[in-house]
A and B are shown apart, each in its own frame.
Chain A
Amino acid sequence: MSAAISWDPYNADLAKDPYPTYKRLREESPLYYNAEHDFYAISRFADVESTLRDKDLFSSAHGDILEFIKARSVMPDSVFIHQDPPKHTAYRALMQRIITPKRMHAVEQDIRKLCARSLDPLIGGDRLDFIANLGAEMPMRAVSMLLGIPEKDQEAIRQSVDDRIRTEAGKPIDIAAQQQLQQEALSGFDEYIAWREKNPSDDMMTELLQSEFKDPQGVTRKLTREEISNIVNVVAGAGNETTNRLIGWMGKTLSQHPDQRREVARNLALVPQTVEEVLRFEPPGPFVAREVMRDIELHGRKVPKGAVMLMLVAAANRDESRFVNGDSFNIHREARPHMTFGQGIHVCIGAPLARLEGRVALEEILKRFPDWEVDLDNAVLSSTSTVRGWDSLPAWIGSRPKNATVSIPKPAAAEAAPAPAAASGEVTLEGTWNVVVKGPTGPQPATLVLEKSGDTYTGSQSGQGSTTPIADFKLTGNKVYWVNHVTKPMKIKVEFTGELNGNVLSGKAKAGFMGSYPFTATKA
């Protein structure tokens, strides 16, 4: 008798490789109950499929995320992902006319250009970060382009939506804090809607402003500003975060299956089925929740009305009763649909865009970099109540330094050299540093001013028009760490972890759960 199965969506260790647990759940506990967080979970393909199709028994009226359902969260009608029919039907039907495969395919060449813009600067170099260089950039720009949002406003919007749907590792979502963040970032977005109303174009925003629909009360009318804001927020959030994760999983999975990657690189006609297989193998949204609307019995066990049911899409996608050798990655496997976009009336409305972006991104990567090897020692994986994927996924795309067996993202020579004794005096940390964070929309400059008092460093950091004190500055050997609580364009904690080599300070800036981005700093 093996130990009882435990599956906890907040367990970051389990998230690294949840698949052995998923297999056990499918085989030993097809209806799983987690007492600590009070939810049920199903993992077999057939169960997940029938549950997602049964919109009456499994409700979305309080959302599709565990914490939201437990909090009995109620959203405005226009947040249609969070509704049952007839409210869902009214808004979904309208959006279905706007987010069409036809419209998505019309921008294929533009998406290709966005990929080129992200990837071309890396040609000739040795490294590529699938997230920082492409995943955090292209999907956001594509959604913004479809909406007609000017580039200068794009970053604040992405920050808002990303933060809202993410959780701190190991913790449930703080709903109140997230709504606060959302409101702050969306205040500028309302101005854009107003401007676009006066300056119509051929983008989705104009169509949202002009389209008529039959609302849940049966009245034919246009959307209100607030409804548009809500809808765009949901659509943009879903479109950024998940496609970003898909790009990361393509990088990771194809690095670890080099034979299949080479085959696709030689024959780009295989790209669409490769994207589908990555979607099956590593779904960016590994689970989705519903509220159970009446007492039911499943696999010999009662589930009470009002319970939260988690559908483990990532487990269903590897169910051996549907996919032969489900745990193996095989771009030539049987062409059977996976569960990654969900099923039923809430099926992902952005799937045509996700597939298009996935295909174009992979084509453009392979054209430039047919070979890569991910540097997992320096990659960061995160798992939340909604998505699982890489916050940072660097890879070697060129000549990997010969002695870089423990892949460190800097020249091999620096690695071999003894760590400079920064604290003993060659370079003083005190003073002013010009810091550049290579953020998702390009380099973001900041100024760091450090003061030393005894063995303690204090200081402040300025950027984006605001100055805030830094905290927790630590110096250990040549390693430094500090925290900057940024207030603009939104409130977020940024943790800097780096090394001092000569007179250059470099490392990673982790912006809350937005992800990690490389930074370098030089003495001013």
Chain B
Amino acid sequence: MPKILFIEHNGKEHLVDAEDGKSVMQTAVENMVPGIVGDCGGACSCATCHGYVDPAWQDKIPPKGETEEMMLDGAMNVEPNSRLTCQILMKAELDGLVVRLPASQF
């Protein structure tokens, strides 16, 4: 089972098990990681699952889609490595993925 390391804005770390095929957002919500909201449940319609993917993982995750780009355009505190975590599905190759969380989702 691949693992994801979430790091809250205050530095607190959460290492959680992720199921194959589940999104990073869903994994965070199911493990009650504070800082990921995911209002829309994964429809790429709310931008409340914003996270910063560690640069070491940039090449291993799928690129941003058009809708995700648009949603991030209007989000707060966006950086080059910002992603909507509902758009990244977990798989074995992403074992150890590091995602930092913004100060606030809204």
Contacts and interface: CB of A to CB of B under 8 A. Distances in A.
Q: Which of B34, B70, B74, B76 has the most CB of A within 10 A?
A: B74
Contacts of B74: 96-97, 99-103
Nearest to A105: B76
Interface residues of A, number: 31
A356 B104 CA distance: 12
B45 A92 contact: yes
Given A102-B75, A344-B40, A337 B29 contact: yes
Q: Could you tell me the dominant secondary structure of chain B's interface residues?
A: loop
A278 to B, nearest CB: 15
B4 interface: no
A409 interface: no
A97 B29 contact: no
A222 interface: no
A93 B32 contact: no
Given A335-B34, A336-B32, A97 B73 contact: yes
A343 interface: yes
Contacts of A345: 40, 43, 45
A52 B32 CA distance: 21
A460 B43 CA distance: 55
Interface stretch (A181-189, A236-244, A347-355, A386-394): A347-355
Nearest to A92: B45
Nearest to A347: B40
A352 B106 contact: yes
Contacts of B71: 96
Interface string A317-352: 000000000000000001111000111111111011
A99 B41 CA distance: 19
Interface residues of B, number: 23
B76 A344 contact: no
Contact of B70 (A93, A102, A105, A348): A93
B54 interface: no
Interface string B94-106: 0000000000101
A53 B73 contact: no
Contacts of B67: 93
A53 B43 contact: yes
A351 B34 contact: no
Nearest to B35: A335
Nearest to B75: A101
B37 interface: yes
Interface in A249-278: 272
Given A93-B67, A96-B70, A335-B34, A351 B106 contact: yes
Contacts of A351: 39, 46, 48, 106
Nearest to A94: B70
A344 B43 CA distance: 5
Nearest to B40: A347
Given A337-B39, A341-B39, A345-B40, A101 B29 contact: no
B51 interface: no
Contacts of B90: none
A355 B75 CA distance: 14
B7 to A, nearest CB: 16
A344 B38 CA distance: 10
B84 interface: no
Contacts of A67: none
Contacts of B46: 341, 347, 351
Interface string B3-45: 0000000000000000000000000010010100111111101
A371 interface: no
B70 A53 contact: no
A334 B45 contact: no
B40 A102 contact: no
A203 interface: no
B47 A344 contact: no
Interface string A150-192: 0000000000000000000000000000000000000000000
B55 to A, nearest CB: 24
A304 B47 CA distance: 35
A373 interface: no
A430 interface: no
A351 B40 CA distance: 11
Given A49-B41, A342-B39, A345-B43, 18 more contacts: A52-B41, A92-B45, A96-B45, A97-B70, A97-B73, A99-B74, A100-B74, A100-B75, A101-B76, A336-B29, A337-B38, A342-B40, A343-B39, A343-B40, A344-B43, A347-B39, A351-B46, A352-B106
28 contacts: A49-B41, A52-B41, A53-B41, A53-B42, A53-B43, A93-B67, A96-B45, A96-B70, A97-B70, A100-B73, A100-B74, A102-B75, A103-B74, A272-B104, A336-B29, A337-B37, A337-B39, A342-B39, A342-B40, A343-B40, A343-B41, A344-B40, A344-B41, A344-B45, A345-B45, A347-B40, A351-B39, A352-B106
List the 8 shortest-distance A-B pairs measured between CB atoms, nearest first. A100-B74, A347-B40, A343-B41, A335-B34, A345-B43, A355-B106, A344-B43, A352-B106
